[in-house]
Amino acid sequence: MLKALQKSGQAVFEPLRRVLDHSFDPGLNPLNHLGALTIYFFWIVTVSGIWLFLFFKTSVSGAFESVEYLTHEQWYLGGVMRSLHRYASDAAIITLALHMIREFVYDRYRGNRWFSWVTGIPLLWMVIPLGITGYWLVWDQLAWYVALTSAELLDWLPIFSDSMARNFLSADALSDRFFTLMAFVHLIGLPLFLVFGIWLHVLRINGPRINPPRALMAGSLAAMTVLSFVYPALSQGEVDMTQVPRSLGLDWYYLLVYPLMKTWSPAWVWGLLSGISLLLFVAPWLPSQRSKSAAVVDLDNCNGCARCSDDCPFGAITMMERSDGTAFEKEAVVDPSLCMSCGMCVGSCPTATPFRRHSALSPGIDMPDLSAATLREKIQKVSNKLTGNQRILVFGCEGHNKTEKLKSRLNDSETATVDIVCMAQLPPSFMDYILSRDLADGIVLTGCPGGECLYRFGEQWTGLRIERRRDPRLRKRVDADRIALAWQEPWSGLSGIAAVVAALRDSLRPGHIAEQGADEKISLPPARVNSWKLPLTVTAYTLFMIFVGWLSVWPRYQLIGQGQAMVSLSFSHAGQRIRECRKLTQEELNELAPNMRKIDDCPRERLAVRIAFSSDGITLYEASRPPTGLWNDGESNVYHRMVIPAGKQKLFIGMVDSDREEGFDYSLEQEIDFTPGQHVVVEFDSIAQSFVFKEG
C-alpha cells in the first residue's frame, strides 16, 4: 500500500521533473531545491513584511485604511511589497507541500531522517496560522470571514470561557486589543517559532542546503515582481458587519479547510487536522523499515583523521577523545541511531585499502552488511569471469538500481556489474586496486546526480575524490581516463549508461585517439544546448506564477446564496441555581466550625440554558447550553450562525433558564424584512433582561 502510494507519487513527480529539467539548467531544477526555496520565499516575506509594518496602523479604524494607502497611493513600492508579501507566502506553501511530498515519495523520511520529518510537521502548524493571521490584519471583508471562522474554530477548544467569535459579530464588540494581539502573533511570535523550528528541522543534516542557487533566487524574485505589477494583491472591501458579502476570493493555500466549517462542526475540522498530523507523525515508522546495520568503528585501525566525520551526510560520526591509550588524539564514534548505513564513511577512510596483503582488510570504519573485505571479494569474483581486452566493471548503487537491467541488456562477458550502497562507499584505493591488479581495464561509476542521490553526497564526494580535490584522493599513478562516470536520474533509461560503457570501451581500444580534449573524462554527454531553453524557463516561471496568483483568490468562495441573509445568536446568560437557597437550621449551624457558619446554603451549580429559535414557525435552532466553569457555576454561552432566506420573516427566540418544562422564561417575536446579505444579531440584554434583534 505504502509502496503503491510512493510509486504513484513518483509517477506524478517524474514527468514534472523531466519537464523542468528541460526548462532549467542542470542543477537548477527547482524540484531539487524545494526546502531551500521555501526558506528563500520566507526571506522575501520577511523583507516585504518589514516595509508593510512601517506603514501599518494597528487599530480597527486604521488597519484597512493603512493597507489601502500602501496598495493604491504607494502602489509602485508599498503595493508591490504587499503583493510580494502575499505571493511569496503562497509560493512557500507550494514549495513546502512539494518538499514534503518529494521526501515521502522518494522514501527520504525514514531511518535517521525521521527527525527532519517529525520536526517538519510543527512547521506546518506555524506557517498556516502565520498566513491566516496575516489575512486577519488587513481587516477587509475577507479578514472578517477569517476572524469569525478562526474564532469559531478556537471556541471549540476548551481555552476561553467566553466566546471569542462574539467579538466579530458587531462593530461595537470589536476592540483594538485584538489587533495588537494579532500583530504580535503575526509579526513576532510565530516568525520567531518558525526560525527556531527551521533550525531544529535541519539540525541533524550535515551541510543542509538552505540557499537555492542564485539563478533560481533571481528568477523567482523577478517572476514574482512581474506578477505583483500585473496582478497586484488587493483588499476585498471594507468590513461592514451589517452586511454579509455573497462571495469572497479565498487564498486556498492558507484557508483550504475554512469552507468545511459551513457544513462540518468545528469538532470534525479539528478531528481532520489532528488525524492528518497524527498520521504524518507516525509515518516514518509505518510500516517499520528493514533495519540495516550501522557503521562500526575498529579502533585498532582508526587513526583519528576525521575524514569519515567530515563526509558523513547525516552527522552520525563524532570525533571524541581517544579512549584506547594510543598516541592518536581522536577516535571516530558512530551514533547508530543517526546512521543511515550509506557506507560513505568507508569510502572516505584512508585505511579502507584493498592492497593489504599480510593483514585482513579491516578498515577503521566498516559496514557489517557489506564490509570492505566482502566488497573486495565480490570484485575479484566477478572480474575473474571477465574476458576480452576491454573488460569493464560497472558499479551501481542502491538508489539508482540499474545494474540488473544493464547486465541483461549488454549480456556480454566483457562487462560485469557490482552493487554497492552508494557510489561514495567505494574508496578510490579500490579503483586503483582494480586497474593496477588488472582485474578490469576500465571502471564505470553510475549513480544519481546531485540532489537526486538518496544519501545526498554520492556524486559530489565521488567526483571530488576522483578529481583529486577531496581526501582520500585517487592516487596520481592511476590513469583516471579509465574511470568513466554516468550520473543519471533514476527514472531515465539505460541508454545513457550503455553509451558511457561503449565510449569507455572504445577509448580503451589500442590506437584509439581521443576526438576532442584528450583530458576530458568520459561521462554522459552534457545536455544539448537547447535554443528553447530561455522561452521554456520563462514559460515555467509564468505558469508557476499563474498558479500562485490564481489560487490566491480563485475560485471564489460563496458565503451565502443570492437571496439569503444571516442571523447570529450571540449571548451569555447564567442559568438559575440547581435549587433555591435555603436557610440553615440552628442545629445545622452548630455543627459547622465557627468560621464556616453561613446562614444561607446556596448551591454553586447552575442549570443549563435552553434556547429555541424559529422563523415563520419553523424551528431553526434548538439547544441546551451547559454552564461554563470548573464547578458548573458560570454563564452559559450561546453562539450560532444561520443562513436564512431574505424577505419578511417572523423571528422568534425563546430561552429557559429555570427547570420549567413548558413555555419560556424570556422570549421575543419580531417581524424583520431581510434584504439580501443582511446580518442580524440576536443578543440578550442582561440589564433589561430581554432579547434584542440588532444590526450586525
Question: Which residues here bind ligand HEM, judged by CB under 6 A?
Answer: 35-36, 38-39, 96, 99-100, 103, 108-109, 113, 116-117, 120-121, 123-124, 127, 198, 201-202, 205, 208-210, 280, 456
Nearer to ligand HEM, 96 or 421 (CB): 96
- Closest approach of Cβ 216 to ligand HEM, in Å? 13
Cα separation, 434 vs 427, whole angstroms: 11
- Closest approach of Cβ 31 to ligand SF4, in Å? 24
Cα separation, 112 vs 115, whole angstroms: 6
DSSP 186: I
Q: 364 is in the binding site of which of ligand SF4, ligand HEM, none (Cβ under 5 to 8 A by kind)?
A: ligand SF4
Q: 186 is in the binding site of which of ligand SF4, ligand HEM, none (Cβ under 5 to 8 A by kind)?
A: none
Nearer to ligand SF4, 314 or 395 (CB): 314
Q: Is the dihedral of CA 263, 266, 271, 272 positive or negative?
A: positive
Give the Cβ contact number of residue 126 at 10 Å: 18
Residue whose cell numbers read 469572497: 248
- Closest approach of Cβ 451 to ligand HEM, in Å? 7
Q: 345 is in the binding site of which of ligand SF4, ligand HEM, none (Cβ under 5 to 8 A by kind)?
A: ligand SF4
Nearer to ligand SF4, 295 or 483 (CB): 295
Strands 442-447 and 392-397: parallel
* Cβ proximity of 36 and 66 under 8 Å: no
Residues engaged in binding ligand SF4 (CB under 6 A): 294-295, 297, 302-308, 312, 314, 316-317, 332, 334, 339-345, 348-349, 351, 364-365
Nearer to ligand SF4, 138 or 334 (CB): 334
- Closest approach of Cβ 207 to ligand HEM, in Å? 7
Cα separation, 696 vs 241, whole angstroms: 5
- Closest approach of Cβ 120 to ligand HEM, in Å? 2
- Closest approach of Cβ 487 to ligand SF4, in Å? 19
Cα separation, 389 vs 505, whole angstroms: 9
Cα separation, 685 vs 570, whole angstroms: 11
Q: 340 is in the binding site of which of ligand SF4, ligand HEM, none (Cβ under 5 to 8 A by kind)?
A: ligand SF4
Q: 341 is in the binding site of which of ligand HEM, ligand SF4, none (Cβ under 5 to 8 A by kind)?
A: ligand SF4
Give the Cβ contact number of residue 591 at 10 Å: 11
- 573 three-state secondary structure: strand
CB nearest ligand SF4: which residue?
364
User: Please, what's the b/e burial string for 435-448 (b: 16 or more CB within 10 A of its CB; e: otherwise)?
Assistant: beeebbbbbbbbbb
H helices present in 157-262, as ranges: 176-184, 190-201, 214-230, 252-255
- Closest approach of Cβ 310 to ligand SF4, in Å? 9
- Closest approach of Cβ 117 to ligand SF4, in Å? 16
Angle at 423 between CA 201 and CA 110, to 5 degrees: 30
Q: 205 is in the binding site of which of ligand HEM, ligand SF4, none (Cβ under 5 to 8 A by kind)?
A: ligand HEM
- Closest approach of Cβ 346 to ligand SF4, in Å? 7
Cα separation, 594 vs 624, whole angstroms: 40
Round to the nearest angstrom and report the end-to-end CA distance of the chain.
51
Nearer to ligand HEM, 38 or 83 (CB): 38
Q: Is the dihedral of CA 48, 53, 54, 57 positive or negative?
A: positive
Nearer to ligand SF4, 472 or 677 (CB): 472
Q: 198 is in the binding site of which of ligand SF4, ligand HEM, none (Cβ under 5 to 8 A by kind)?
A: ligand HEM
Nearer to ligand HEM, 201 or 402 (CB): 201
Nearer to ligand HEM, 278 or 581 (CB): 278
Q: 202 is in the binding site of which of ligand SF4, ligand HEM, none (Cβ under 5 to 8 A by kind)?
A: ligand HEM
Q: Is the dihedral of CA 72, 73, 77, 81 positive or negative?
A: negative
- Closest approach of Cβ 203 to ligand SF4, in Å? 15
Nearer to ligand SF4, 29 or 425 (CB): 425
Cα separation, 472 vs 429, whole angstroms: 8
Cα separation, 188 vs 186, whole angstroms: 6
Instruction: Give the chain's radius of gyration (CA, Å).
Output: 35
- 339 three-state secondary structure: coil
Q: 406 is in the binding site of which of ligand SF4, ligand HEM, none (Cβ under 5 to 8 A by kind)?
A: none
Residue whose cell numbers read 415563520: 616
Please give the grid coordinates belonging to residue 150: 478562526
Q: 312 is in the binding site of which of ligand HEM, ligand SF4, none (Cβ under 5 to 8 A by kind)?
A: ligand SF4
Nearer to ligand SF4, 112 or 243 (CB): 112
